[in-house]
């Protein structure tokens, strides 16, 4: 006959009653431990022994104790701390937690008679970063976060994670999914990278940005505007692009749309700058490119800008040079006429003389434009310029005049300076010859000084006499050092003749 659960309960009650008595039938503690160990070895019972070996707990009860300890700790407890409090090995705790998660994972049936559908509900317990966390703890975090967002309007996820000492995994998988702008969302917010913002805060930023942009009257960099709001660049450009798309931007952007180094140009500044440019063109008939750049309304290509706001006849009359925009009919043709008069009279002209005093800012590129226009008129093919392009001259005519003047000047100067030049030339030649003669005489004297005085063999009285004669000539100042006496007297006379010559 099979044993029923009632039989087991009856036997357990009998054993408990015997153990409570003081009789001899009562089992000792050692006998109880040995008996339970035998039953566990025979796999008749499944128990978990505590780390001190004095207590046993069933696996089902261990699951219940894990849940109770988590709730008692405020809905969040580490698995290692749970094992220490229950005095159970960590392996048994992990097994019990897995059973707890499987037990709390349930489904509800859709209310439809013809269709059956599993709809998953949030688990009551979750394990995150080695911690057992109850759903109420997550709900409480969502409520606290919602309260802080309502108070401050925006919060940093990094700061919250650091301040509340929460694992990033908990935020990513259990709190961020609760964020939304729909009514059923637990956290009513919008996420921009690391920042959470409420819709009310976003609307306040839109109104603030609109007020700031309307109040600006001069070009301002986007970095300055962004620093005033103190929000992330992503959120800043999102609000900016929304205003552009809705045509609510009171100005335009000069530069890249996604760069903080771009420049914001208010419409009021653009309107005033355009009026100023028109006035300068109308009154002075020119405007410097430096001024256009300083106004920050003209792009890198000024042609498109002037074509947009000037009539066609006025635009076609403008000349765009490297450093100035000027009227062709009012200024440039006047320059050309004045230059032609100078060229006809003198065959050259200085460009600084034909330009107004205000045109001191012109560069070499502008001078090149003027010369190019002059060369296209009349006999401009003969025009040449100096290296700095500041003077224009007619090459053949000017050269002929200069050659005539120089020829007459050279002739008169030659007639005047010829006698003096001839005398100076002759003096130079005579001086050179005299110097050459002195150098030769000096070399000869040095050669005579370095000669040997005579031979030791075959000395005779004639040689002594000749030596005395030579010594006497040296004392007289006309001879050289004594030479060796040859065997015949003729050689001595020949040498004396050569020396005196």
- Mind listing the pLDDT tens digit for each residue in 151-201? 888 888 888 888 888 888 888 888 888 887 776 678 888 888 888 888 899
Q: Do 310 and 226 reside in the same domain of the chain?
A: yes
Same domain? For 303 and 227 the reply is yes
Residue 9, domain member (yes or no): no
What is the structure's pLDDT at 212?
A: 94
Domain boundary among 287, 316, 345: 316
* CB of 98 closer than 8 Å to CB of 60: no
Answer yes or no: do 215 and 272 share one domain: yes
Helix 233-245 vs helix 222-229: crossing angle, to nearest 10: 110
Report if residue 247 sits inside a domain. yes
User: pLDDT tens digits, residue range 445-483?
Assistant: 777 776 655 444 444 444 444 444 444 444 444 443 333
pLDDT digits (tens, 9 = 90+) for 383-417: 666 665 566 655 566 666 667 777 778 878 877 87
Q: What is the pTM of this model?
A: 0.58
DSSP H stretches of helix in 216-354: 222-229, 233-245, 267-283, 289-295, 302-309, 312-316, 333-346, 351-354
Q: Using the 3D structure, point to which of 316, 337, 353 is the last residue of a domain.
A: 316
Q: Which residues contact 96 (CB under 8 A, 6 or more apart)?
A: 59, 62, 63, 65, 66
Distance of CA 466 to the CA centre of its chain: 102
* Residue position matching structure tokens 């959120």: 235
| Domain-located, residue 303 | yes
Average pLDDT, integer, range 74-96 = 90
Mean pLDDT of 289-311: 85
pLDDT of residue 224: 94
**421 part of a folded domain:** no
In this structure, the number of other CB atoms found within 10 A of the CB of residue 428 comes to 9
For range 96-113, the mean pLDDT = 64
Cα Rg of the chain (Å, integer): 59
User: Does 70 fall in a domain?
Assistant: yes
Check whether residue 231 and residue 310 sit in a common domain. yes
CA-CA distance, 152 to 197, in Å (whole number)?
9
Task: Say if residue 300 is in the same domain as residue 385.
Answer: no
In a domain, 267, yes or no: yes
Cα dihedral angle (160, 164, 170, 176), rounded to 10 degrees? -30
* Structure confidence at residue 379 (pLDDT): 55
* 3-class SS string, 179-238: EECCCCCCEECEEECCEEECHHHHHHHHHHHHHHHHHCCCCEEHHHHHHHHCCCHHHHHH
Q: Which two three-digit tokens encode residue 240? A: 């900016």
What per-residue confidence (pLDDT) applies to 103?
Answer: 80
**Residue 501: pLDDT above 70?**
no
Tell whether 183 and 218 lie within a shared domain: no
In a shared domain, residues 192 and 213: no
**Statement to judge: residues 165 and 184 lie in one domain:** yes
As for how many domains the chain has, the answer is 4
pLDDT for 79 = 92
Residue 124 pLDDT class (50, 70, 90 cuts):
confident
Predicted confidence at residue 396, as pLDDT, reads: 66
Question: Which residue would you say has higher pLDDT here, 460 or 52?
Answer: 52
Region 1-20 average pLDDT: 71
Q: What share of the chain is helix, strand, coil (3-state, %, to 5)?
A: 60, 15, 25
Residue 115, pLDDT > 50, answer no
Mean pLDDT taken over the chain: 78
Which residues constitute the domain of residue 29?
25-104
Is 281 in the same domain as 329?
no
Q: Determine the 3-state secondary structure of 444 from DSSP.
A: helix
288 pLDDT band, cuts 50/70/90, is: very high
Average pLDDT over every residue of 11-28: 74
- What pLDDT is stored for residue 398 in this prediction? 60
Residue 412 belongs to some domain of the structure: no
Q: Is residue 500 part of a domain?
A: no
**How many helices and strands, by DSSP H and E, does the chain display?**
21, 21
Distance, CA of 494 to CA of 491 (rounded, Å): 5
Domain boundary among 145, 168, 197: 197
Give the pLDDT confidence score for residue 190 in this predicted structure. 86
238 with 179, same domain: the answer is no
Section 5-22 average pLDDT: 75
Mean pLDDT of 81-108: 82
């Amino acid at each position: 006959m099979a044993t029923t659960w009632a039989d087991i309960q009856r036997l357990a009650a009998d054993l408990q009653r015997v153990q409570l008595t003081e009789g001899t039938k009562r089992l000792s503690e050692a006998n109880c431990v040995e008996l339970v160990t035998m039953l566990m070895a025979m796999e008749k019972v499944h128990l978990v022994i505590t780390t001190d070996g004095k207590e046993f707990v069933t696996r089902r009860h261990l699951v219940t104790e894990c849940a109770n300890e988590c709730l008692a700790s405020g809905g969040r407890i580490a698995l290692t701390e749970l094992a220490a409090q229950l005095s159970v090995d960590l392996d048994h705790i992990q097994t019990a937690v897995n059973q707890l998660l499987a037990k709390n994972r349930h489904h509800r049936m859709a209310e439809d008679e013809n269709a059956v559908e599993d709809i998953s509900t949030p688990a009551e317990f979750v394990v995150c970063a080695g911690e057992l966390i109850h759903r109420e703890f997550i709900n409480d975090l969502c409520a606290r976060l919602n309260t802080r967002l309502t108070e401050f309007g925006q919060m940093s996820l990094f700061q919250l994670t650091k301040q509340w000492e929460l694992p990033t995994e908990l935020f990513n998988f259990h709190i961020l999914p609760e964020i939304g702008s729909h009514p059923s969302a637990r956290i009513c917010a919008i996420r921009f990278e690391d920042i959470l913002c409420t819709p009310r805060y976003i609307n306040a930023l839109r109104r603030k940005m609109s007020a700031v942009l309307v109040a600006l009257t001069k070009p301002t960099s986007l970095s300055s505007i962004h620093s005033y709001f103190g929000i992330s660049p992503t959120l800043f450009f999102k609000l900016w692009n929304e205003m552009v798309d809705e045509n609510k931007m009171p100005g335009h952007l000069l530069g890249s749309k996604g760069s903080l180094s771009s420049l914001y140009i208010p419409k009021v500044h653009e309107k005033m700058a355009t009026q100023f440019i028109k006035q300068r063109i109308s009154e002075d008939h020119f405007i410097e490119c430096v001024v256009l750049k300083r106004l920050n309304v003209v792009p890198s290509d000024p042609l498109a800008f002037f074509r947009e706001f000037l009539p066609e006849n006025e635009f076609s009359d403008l000349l765009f040079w490297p450093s100035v925009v000027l009227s062709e009919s009012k200024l440039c043709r006047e320059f050309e006429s004045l230059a032609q008069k100078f060229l006809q009279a003198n065959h050259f002209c200085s460009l600084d003389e034909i330009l107004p005093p205000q045109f001191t800012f012109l560069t070499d590129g502008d001078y090149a434009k003027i010369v190019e226009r002059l060369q296209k008129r009349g006999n401009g093919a003969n025009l040449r310029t100096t290296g700095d392009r500041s003077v224009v001259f007619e090459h053949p005519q000017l050269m002929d005049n200069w050659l005539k003047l120089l020829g007459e000047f050279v002739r008169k100067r030659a007639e005047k300076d010829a006698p003096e030049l001839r005398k100076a030339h002759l003096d130079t030649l005579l001086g050179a010859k005299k110097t050459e003669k002195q150098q030769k005489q000096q070399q000869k004297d040095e050669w005579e000084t370095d000669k040997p005085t005579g031979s030791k063999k075959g000395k005779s009285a004639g040689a002594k006499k000749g030596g005395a004669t030579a010594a006497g000539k040296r004392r007289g100042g006309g001879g050289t050092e004594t030479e060796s006496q040859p065997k015949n007297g003729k050689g001595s006379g020949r040498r004396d003749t050569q020396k005196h010559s």
